[in-house]
Amino acid sequence: MRLRNKPWASEYIAEHPKYVIPNPQEQKGNWHKLFGNHHPIHIEVGTGKGQFIVEMAKRNPNINYIGIELYQSVIVSALQKLEEEKLPNLKLLNVNARDLTEIFAPSEVERVYLNFSDPWPKKRHEKRRLTHKSFLTIFENILVEGGEIHLKTDNQGLFEYSLKSFSEYGLLLTFVSLDLHNSDFEGNIMTEYEEKFSRKGQRIYRCEVKFR
């Protein structure tokens, strides 16, 4: 993915600390205080332009959502959506997913969403895939017992790799679809990428796994 540089992004993010939380490590173990309730926390790792997580927050006011996005030039699009909607149950973090254990305490998160993550198809980049065992260890650390990962992708190679990685890690597969948009699955919320790919007739893969 080629990122369009937005030189104003850093300043814009800094102007909205209510939505893009600065120094999120300071909230570790206390995210319920920031949200002002004890509702479950769901995070999306690689939230992109924010269409999915904004809509999820609108539909589920009794769940707190946190969008994780590394690139400032991307997260500003999610920020603009959030600023318009002013959802009290959604926050954004401009951080690297490898740092999640510094941001969330053990068992502080109930669910992780991975939507159309970079497949990093070259073997030498395997450890960058968000379903590599190193990331699964991070997710396991911050998730509650029985916490879930929900994965969606258009990339068959990444999907097959992920299923194998989940299995080898000992995760329980609770849902799988090899063609989501031609299935009876209800309540699917599409990302910007998903809309683009589905218009081209590409198959969308989805699965849910649970830590035992």
Q: Active site residue: 99, 118, 154, 179, which one?
A: 118
Whether 126 contacts 178, CB under 8 Å: no
Catalytic site includes residue 118: yes
Token pair listed for 96:
């690297």
Secondary structure (DSSP) of 120-179: --SGGGGGGSTTSHHHHHHHHHHEEEEEEEEEEES-HHHHHHHHHHHHHHTPEEEEEESS
Residue 120 CB neighbour total at 10 angstroms? 17
Q: How far is it, in rounded angstroms, from Cα 141 to Cα 145?
A: 10
**Kind and range of the H or E element at 55?**
helix 51-59
> Longest Cα pair distance anywhere in the chain, in angstroms?
44
CA distances from 113 to 4, 67, 123 (A): 25, 9, 24
Q: Which residues does the annotation mark as catalytic? A: 118
